[in-house]
Amino acid sequence: MEQSFDKSLLASISDSLKGNIAVLMGGDSAERDVSLQSGQAVLAVFEQAGFDVQAIDPAKVNLVSELQVKNIQHVFIALHGRGGEDGSLQGCLEKMSISYTGSGVLASALAMDKLKTKQLWKSAGLATAEYAVLTSDSDWKAVLQELGETVMVKPASEGSSIGMAKAVGPEQLAQAYKNAVQYDQLVIAERWIDGDEYTVAFVGNETMPVIKMETDNAFYDYEAKYVSNDTRYLCPCGLSDEKEKEFQLLAKTAYQSLGCQGWGRVDLMTNASGEPFLLEANTVPGMTSHSLVPMAAKVKGYSFSTLVLMIFKQSLDVGNGDLSSTNIHVSALDCTGN
């Protein structure tokens, strides 16, 4: 599909380039298929805009060698999940002095870990559902006595709702844990929030309109996100102006508390009383035909091509994370690829 381009934005990007561009996609996480869809959509924008751009799949090549051989100096990260969204890739690119889209090392690592995210938000006084860490020795009845008879079980470091399940009663909780632990050794259960689900996206300093997601599934799961054509996305979201601003402010506070930058998304749900509770932050949101950030940007007046270039321009303007404040030694990170 042909894209229309903002000529001043194209010129600004061209003036800032110091080398070749690559879109990183695929990888070997559980979100590989979604990443390939996101990456291809982003790649098409760069190609149609006339940029010399390379598609690189870290699961197929030695990433460091590929970046060096192709003289890549600027990267659009379309890798979802482990290896692309958890800070390890960001550290590698920092080490190589390559600019990249999205958040830096620490923010990426924090946002990828749902447990650490919730702990940080709770310490900051931000509303998020009560939770418990699950193990194979957990007393399932005791967990439910603490959180309620219905809970949501999540691998701590997976995205796209992979490995997540609603559990009612001890037997379902045990089974949900057994499934989730296949994706991550760290698994949490959250108090079930029986309300509406919303998301707030950010691009640079701009807060996008709130989107409300509606599905006939038990919750907004992988199928509802990427497969079903019956999922309903409401933008305008149906909230009053005052309530929408409240949700945007809560999401922005949560986003900034993690140190996120460039672009990203924060998800939240409301309880029966309409009170919002933070779910998670996403530092490399999807860019597929079903994805939420492009939807919100379109309502704001930005075409998909403009959105992609805006995100990319952020990485050229502001650089990425301040490693001096992360207590992470980048030289110790694994940058070898596969």
pLDDT tens for each residue of 26-74: 998 888 999 999 999 999 999 999 999 999 999 999 999 999 999 999 9
Mean pLDDT of the chain: 88
Where is pLDDT greater, at 246 or 163? Answer: 246
Q: How far is Cα 307 from Cα 16, in angstroms, rounded to an integer?
A: 18
Catalytic residue among 161, 221, 267, 305: 267
Task: Identify whether 226 is a catalytic site residue.
Answer: yes
Residue 335: pLDDT band with limits 50, 70, 90: low
Catalytic residue among 84, 286, 321, 337: 286
Residue 159: pLDDT band with limits 50, 70, 90: low
Q: How far is Cα 32 from Cα 59, in angstroms, rounded to an integer?
A: 10
Catalytic residue among 29, 160, 291, 305: 160
| Interval 94-122: pLDDT, tens | 999 999 999 999 999 999 999 999 999 99
**CA angle, 299 then 300 then 305, to 5°:** 90
Strands (E), 109-226: 131-134, 150-155, 165-168, 187-191, 197-203, 206-207, 211-214
Catalytic residue among 280, 305, 320, 321: 280
| Interval 181-224: pLDDT, tens | 988 889 999 999 989 999 999 999 999 999 998 876 655 555 55
Tell me, what's the pLDDT at 1? Answer: 44
Task: Identify whether 267 is a catalytic site residue.
Answer: yes
Query: Is the Cα dihedral 166, 209, 204, 17 positive or negative?
Result: positive
**Is 273:107 a contact under the CB 8 Å cutoff?**
no
- Domains defined along the chain, listed by start: 7-101 (3.40.50.20), 130-191 (3.30.1490.20), 197-318 (3.30.470.20)
Task: Identify whether 282 is a catalytic site residue.
Answer: yes
Q: What is the pLDDT averaged over residues 257-285?
A: 95
Catalytic residue among 257, 282, 315, 320: 282
Q: How far is Cα 30 from Cα 162, in angstroms, rounded to an integer?
A: 8
Catalytic residue among 26, 27, 29, 31: 31
Task: Identify whether 265 is a catalytic site residue.
Answer: yes
Tell me, what's the pLDDT at 327? Answer: 34
Residue 318 pLDDT more than 70?
A: no
Residue 87 pLDDT more than 90?
A: yes
Task: Identify whether 280 is a catalytic site residue.
Answer: yes
Catalytic residue among 177, 220, 222, 226: 226
Percent of the chain having pLDDT more than 70? 87
Query: Is the Cα dihedral 141, 147, 151, 153 positive or negative?
Result: negative
